[in-house]
Structure 1
Amino acid sequence: MRADGRTPFQRAVARLYNAPVGLGGGAYHGGAPEGEAESAYLGVMRREVLDEVGLFDETIRRGEDWELNLRIRQAGHLVWFDPALSVTYWPRESWWRLARQFRATGAWRGELVRRYGRRNGLRFFAPPALVVLTALAVIIGILQLTGVLRAVASLLASVVYLPLIAYAALVLAVGLAGVGIARGPRGLRERLWTLAVLPTMHISWGLGFLAGVLRGAGDTVDASRLGSRNTPLP
């Protein structure tokens, strides 16, 4: 899945799609070497295997490919990543569409956690952890400023602020590296969009995930492509 873009915004999103700190994690996002993989993007599958494990679960709106590949691996078959097989992916064209996409995707990952628990990789829990830590930090900050429960707030601050600062420092460091000029010249707009897109991906996904875990994904759909210039409706 080789993300690419036509505009500064799309190119910023594409860079983070291809980066481990953005959407990376699955082999097909980061250009990992050929080998065994957790899932596949637009995979080529053997018909006899699909007949054995069943087709896509149509009750899952997002992440259905991951769930199918989970069943394939559980049945003793192999999912194999070959970087020579590549498909160009065009990201959403606006910040609002991107936020809607990631919220819906996060909600369905939360649903998959409800169904399959820790069969989901640990990386899926990083964005919701960021959201929870950020919310706690804001609450603690308000308690400290208002003088309410000062001792309790100070104790909680020592527990929350350190991991939050560490997480923020990591995201900032990688974000700054991503907007550097190591890979060639980039326009100012693309660099600024990269800094804006990175937290948007994590926070939108994390909020969706928490909602999906708490109440399920329900009828959540990703309507962010509707009316898109790049993907006209059939």
Structure 2
Amino acid sequence: MDHAPPISVIMPLLNEEQHLGEAVEAILDQRYPGELELVLAIGRGHDDTLGVARELARRDHRIIVVENPSGRTPDALNLAVGAANHEIIVRVDGHGFLSPGYIERAVTVLEETGAANVGGVMYAEGSSSFEKAVAIAMRSSLGVGGARFHTGGHAGPADTVYLGVFRRSWLTTVGGYDARFSRAQDWELNYRLRQAGGTVWFDPELRVRYRPRPTFRRLARQYRDYGRWRRVVAREHQGSINARYLAAPTALVANVVGLVGGFVWAPLWIVPGTYATAITVGGLVIGRRDGLAVAARVPAVLATMHGSWGWGFLTSRPGQLLPETDEG
């Protein structure tokens, strides 16, 4: 870069003791040519994430540690932005690991496009057979629809992106992250940025490795919360919903109606039968390159993602924002 402006990297954290060192190392090893600081906002969890963060800060003066009493992600993000010293804000998560050159390219694209926010691909990558199956599903349109930040695609304006590299002035303009949103705060913020006239820019060359949830239970909870909070966003911002977000709840209702109604009129069983066949065949196909142990898990992973997202969307309570914490 001919000109490398100073940047502040912010990372909200809760119960990330095990992987925090690796995530921080991936940031500090970016070799960004300008000044860089890293703000860690730590929630009060059940492990020693705060202790690990303080030790890392003791070793490297570029690290700033702030405590987040609520443990909620939007509070952590706003506290970190408040503690940051620079105009360009780079958001990173404890579950994510930046690819080499990510920050330099993101800042370059931010300046070239004049965007309010620049982001890229959430590239899921697992270690166990189950995590690998989840990663395959998350990278496939069969699992998450056509979202470019999951599946890739062409560079250009987008509804939302994974994480993001922001101009602080735009965050100030829209009032930062809405602390009422325990989930979906990225999507909600990007919606307000676009409504205020800013551009959210997707660049497929910006890749962040993401570690999936390691069990069916945690995966189901994650996707239930995704569905629940996406509906909260839709209520808060009328007209923000689209067909992709309605696919999972529609499929869940159709399958339940078909399964139960089939006892009265047998042809209705074709609905859940067709769905089961589609995710079984599709799951085996998209997972075949990783071997049978992984591929065999993909259909159940797809069903868990679809069903949990749909259930969360359908059962999301109306008329309020839910005061949840961001664990697991």
What's the % identity of the aligned pairs?
38
Choose between structure 1 and 2 for higher RCO, CA contacts under 8 A separated by at least 6 residues: 1
The 1:222/1:142 distance shift into structure 2, 3 A limit, reads: farther
What is the aligned partner in structure 1 of residue 110 from structure 2?
none
- Contact kept, 8 Å, 2:255 with 2:271, in 1: the verdict is no
Tell me if the contact between 1:133 and 1:164 (Cα under 8 Å) persists in the aligned partners. Answer: yes
Cα gap change, 1:220 to 1:207, in 2 (>3 Å) = farther
Whether the 8 Å contact between 1:104 and 1:220 is mirrored in structure 2 is no
The Cα of 1:55 is off from its aligned counterpart by 0.4
Mean alpha-carbon deviation: is it higher for 199-208 or for 113-122?
113-122
Residues 68-217 of structure 1 correspond to what in structure 2 (within 5 A)? 68-144=189-265, 157=268, 167-168=275-276, 170-180=278-288, 184=289, 186-212=290-316
Unaligned runs of 5+ in 2: 1-121
Contact 2:126/2:132 (CA < 8 Å) preserved in 1?
A: yes
Q: Which amino acid aligns with 2:246?
A: F
Displacement of 1:167 in angstroms is 4.9
- 2-structure distance, mates of 1:4, 1:164: 30
Counterparts of 1:75 and 1:23, CA distance in 2: 28
Offset of residue 134 of structure 1: 1.2
Would you say the 8 A contact 2:174–2:196 is kept in 1?
A: yes
* Contact map agreement 1:103 1:209 (CA 8 A) in 2: yes
* TM-score relative to the length of structure 1: 0.80
1:174 CA displacement: 2.7
Give secondary structure in 2 for the equivalent of 1:119. coil
Shift of 1:217: 5.7
Cα displacement (A) at 1:56: 0.4
- The residue that corresponds to 1:21 in the other structure is 142
Structure-2 change in CA distance of 1:48 and 1:217 (3 Å) = closer
Quick one: distance in 1 between partners of 2:270 and 2:320? 31
TM-score by length of 2: 0.58
CA distance in 1, matches of 2:321, 2:256: 22
Structure 1 runs not aligned, ≥5 long: 146-153, 226-234
Moved more, 131-140 or 89-98: 131-140
Displacement of 1:218 in angstroms is: 2.3
Secondary structure at 2:178's aligned position in 1? coil
The residue that corresponds to 1:228 in the other structure is none
**C-alpha separation between the residues in 2 aligned to 1:2 and 1:19?**
11
**What letter matches 1:27 in structure 2?**
R
What residue identity is the alignment partner of 2:305? Answer: M
Contact 1:17-1:29 within 8 A present in 2 as well: yes
Q: Alpha-carbon deviations, 1:25-80, whole Å to 9, x = none? A: 32211111211111121100111111111200010011110011011111111111
Aligned CA distance change for structure 1 residues 117 and 34 (closer, same or farther; 3 Å) = same
Tell me what 1:229 maps to: none
The structure-2 alpha-carbon separation of the partners of 1:220 and 1:136, relative to structure 1 and needing over 3 Å to count, comes to farther
Q: Is the 8 A contact 1:100 1:222 kept in 2?
A: no
Cα separation, partners in 2 of 1:135 and 1:221, compared to 1, 3 Å:
farther
Using the TM superposition, name which of 214-223 and 9-18 deviates more: 214-223
1:90 partner amino acid: R
Note the aligned Cα RMSD (angstroms).
2.2
CA 1:222–1:48 in 2, change beyond 3 Å: closer, same or farther? closer
- Secondary structure of residue in 2 paired with 1:113: helix
CA offsets per residue over residues 104-151 of structure 1, 9 Å max, x none? 111111211222233122100000001111111122123347xxxxxx
Higher strand share: 2
Q: Aligned match of 1:10 in 110, 121, 131?
A: 131
More helix by share: 1
Distance of 2:319 and 2:219 partners within structure 1: 23
1:18/1:24 contact within 8 Å kept: no
> After the TM superposition, which segments of 4 or more aligned residues of structure 1 sit over 4 Å from their partners?
161-170, 213-217
Query: Structure 1 residue 190: deviation in Å?
Result: 0.5
